[in-house]
């Protein structure tokens, strides 16, 4: 070959080499960034779901207290229950807080300073499951009596408290008498238990319309923090609730609710948001203000920001009812979700380019390029776009292999079919967008109570499949029962209000000789049909199918 042909060959080889490197690089980079964008959109949806679930938790905590306050006022004003501080009224209060553990205490303060309170045990009264405080005034003499009660209302202790200085008229919740309507207090220190909480209070009137006093129901703030901690999204994510004055109401880390006492109990306050000294929270609020959006709003808001070149995302969702203006804020760094994926993708690009060079130089470029294994199926392909659960394709591609592997290790495997009861009626009544909200909420509830090793799949429409690994039929049935109770235990909060949702479940054990999940789904579907026939909102097994 003459020198000119050699030169042309060298140039051609260099061009082919450069073109191959460029082509491979562009394809992988585009795939990387498109896949990352789709995954981040999915993460944003999950954060919105967490915020919505947190608002639902707040509402499920507060609404029952409001209902009880309104009902009790009506009963007192109509004299169905007494208006005087006696044992009958005490028992009524006892029964209400005994039935709902979210209520710390229930009480009534009269305009003359008399007081009746029934409450759960606390650090001041730890020896009795419940305690009662009676304060009465006769002829200018004040009498305060403590009574300890058991779980069945039996008296365990009784003694006077001569040094009791409590006056209900000085407490924040008594202000509803002036306003003449139901109200929620700002967080404050409960006088007796010395713990932070909130109170719903409502005035009660006589037959002539004159005020008799104020009814109050206490809820501990720690309950709200517990709800937030259950919904924590990732290792470095955080969530909190704050009111319109940016005072903390709840936090995923309850220790962050540093308490401050300025001038005594009446000046008790929770720490302000800016006193957390969290750079992430401060930056999220700054981005929200810069975008022209309010902290308390009727819409769900998203903001993105960077801290030290590290991307973060935040979601704001407000609760605006009964005069309250509380906002749930969820923040998380992108790296919690895509850090490992991004590092793996960069490494993958580097390796791909290096191998492309070696293949081209070895003259096997074309053959090896076509023999190169297809890249791993992107996670987004295996996920349902609405709920974020695995889809039917994932069940077909992953379920069988995981079942075979579990059987090889000698572990039991069960499969369940789950169907939302009367879902068509929900769609017909409220519309498909509300139906989608129900699907997302129910999916998250089922996912939270499932084991990490289980595989929850949106099988189609309102139907789900659940593979339970290392679980025999008894264990799987108990797990499905937990899922059913979790779904039916609380109504689903949607844009159209609260909706009651239940599920029916059919569960079967996959035979040790049967490594194919799809062959077991038919029997699980028959068990599901049995649950439907038996009235829905129940779990049936393969044994129930046998007796049909």
What is the overall mean pLDDT for the chain?
83
- Cα 378 to Cα 306: distance, rounded to the nearest angstrom: 27
Is the Cβ–Cβ distance between 103 and 97 less than 8 Å?
yes
pTM of the model: 0.53
Mean pLDDT is lowest, of 38-47, 73-82, 351-360, 416-425, for 351-360
Domains and CATH numbers, the chain: 81-220 (3.30.450.20), 379-546 (3.30.70.270)
Torsion angle (degrees, nearest 10) of CA 184, 187, 193, 195 = 150
- Give pLDDT, residue 20: 60
Q: Which of 121, 193, 191, 190 is nearest to 157 (CA)?
A: 121
Supply the residues annotated as catalytic.
462
Q: Which of 217, 8, 9, 216 is nearest to 104 (CA)?
A: 217
- Give pLDDT, residue 68: 95
First to last CA, the chain: 85
- Cα 487 to Cα 35: distance, rounded to the nearest angstrom: 32
Q: pLDDT, tens digit, for every residue of 23-35?
A: 666 655 555 555 5
- Cα 469 to Cα 474: distance, rounded to the nearest angstrom: 13
Count the neighbouring beta carbons within 10 Å of the beta carbon of residue 15: 10
Please say if the pLDDT value at position 174 is more than 90.
yes
Is the Cβ–Cβ distance between 216 and 103 less than 8 Å?
no
Q: pLDDT, tens digit, for every residue of 435-491?
A: 999 999 999 999 999 999 899 999 989 999 999 999 999 999 999 999 999 999 999
- Give pLDDT, residue 457: 95
- HSE (side-chain half, CA atoms, 13 Å) at 369: 16
Is the Cβ–Cβ distance between 277 and 256 less than 8 Å?
no
- The average pLDDT across 120-136 equals 83
Please say if the pLDDT value at position 507 is more than 90.
yes
Is the Cβ–Cβ distance between 21 and 357 less than 8 Å?
yes
Beta strands in 190-290 (DSSP E): 196-205, 211-220, 238-242, 248-251, 259-261, 268-270
């Amino acid at each position: 070959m003459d020198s000119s042909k050699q030169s042309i060959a060298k140039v051609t080889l260099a061009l082919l080499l450069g073109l191959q490197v460029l082509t491979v690089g562009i394809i992988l980079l585009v795939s990387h960034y498109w896949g990352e964008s789709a995954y981040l959109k999915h993460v944003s949806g999950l954060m919105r779901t967490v915020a919505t679930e947190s608002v639902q938790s707040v509402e499920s905590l507060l609404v029952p207290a409001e209902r009880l306050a309104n009902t009790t006022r009506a009963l007192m004003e109509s004299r169905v229950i007494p208006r005087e501080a006696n044992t009958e009224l005490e028992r009524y209060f006892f029964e209400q807080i005994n039935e709902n553990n979210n209520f710390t205490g229930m009480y009534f303060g009269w305009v003359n300073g008399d007081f009746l309170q029934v409450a759960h045990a606390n650090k001041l009264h730890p020896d009795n499951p419940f305690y009662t405080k009676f304060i009465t005034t006769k002829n200018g003499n004040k009498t305060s009596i403590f009574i300890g009660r058991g779980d069945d209302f039996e008296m365990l202790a009784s003694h006077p408290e001569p040094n009791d200085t409590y006056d209900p008229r000085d407490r924040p919740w008594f202000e509803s008498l002036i306003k003449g309507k139901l109200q929620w207090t700002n967080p404050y220190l409960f006088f007796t238990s010395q713990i932070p909480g909130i109170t719903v209070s409502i005035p009660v009137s006589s037959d002539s319309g004159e005020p008799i006093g104020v009814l109050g129901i206490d809820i501990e703030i720690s309950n709200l923090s517990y709800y937030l901690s259950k919904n924590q999204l990732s290792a470095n994510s955080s969530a909190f609730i704050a009111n319109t004055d940016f005072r903390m109401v709840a936090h995923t880390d309850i220790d962050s609710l540093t308490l401050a006492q300025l001038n005594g109990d009446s000046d008790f306050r929770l720490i302000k948001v800016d006193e957390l000294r969290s750079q992430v929270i401060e930056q999220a609020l700054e981005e929200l203000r810069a975008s022209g959006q309010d902290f308390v709003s009727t819409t769900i808001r998203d903001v993105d920001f960077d801290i030290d070149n590290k991307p973060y995302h935040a979601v704001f969702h407000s609760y605006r009812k009964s005069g309250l203006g509380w906002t749930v804020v969820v923040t998380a760094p992108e790296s919690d979700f895509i850090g490992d994926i991004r590092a793996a993708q960069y490494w993958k690009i580097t390796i791909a380019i290096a191998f492309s060079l070696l293949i081209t130089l070895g003259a096997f470029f074309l053959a090896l390029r076509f023999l190169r294994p297809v890249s791993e199926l992107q996670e987004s392909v295996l996920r349902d776009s609405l709920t974020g659960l695995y889809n039917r394709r994932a069940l077909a591609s992953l379920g069988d292999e995981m079942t075979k592997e579990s059987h090889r290790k000698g572990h039991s495997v069960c499969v369940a079919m789950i169907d939302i009861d009367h879902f068509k009626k929900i769609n017909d009544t409220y519309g498909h967008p509300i139906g989608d909200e129900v699907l997302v909420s129910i999916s998250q509830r089922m996912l939270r109570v499932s084991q990490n090793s289980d595989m929850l799949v949106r099988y189609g429409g309102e139907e789900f499949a659940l593979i339970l690994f290392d679980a025999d039929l008894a264990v799987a049935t108990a797990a499905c029962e937990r899922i059913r109770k979790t779904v039916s235990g609380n109504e689903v909060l949607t844009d159209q209000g609260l909706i009651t949702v239940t599920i029916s479940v059919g569960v079967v054990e996959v035979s040790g000789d049967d490594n194919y999940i799809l062959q077991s789904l038919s029997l699980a579907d028959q068990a599901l049909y049995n649950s439907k026939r038996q009235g829905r909102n129940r779990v049936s097994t393969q044994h129930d199918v046998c007796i049909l």
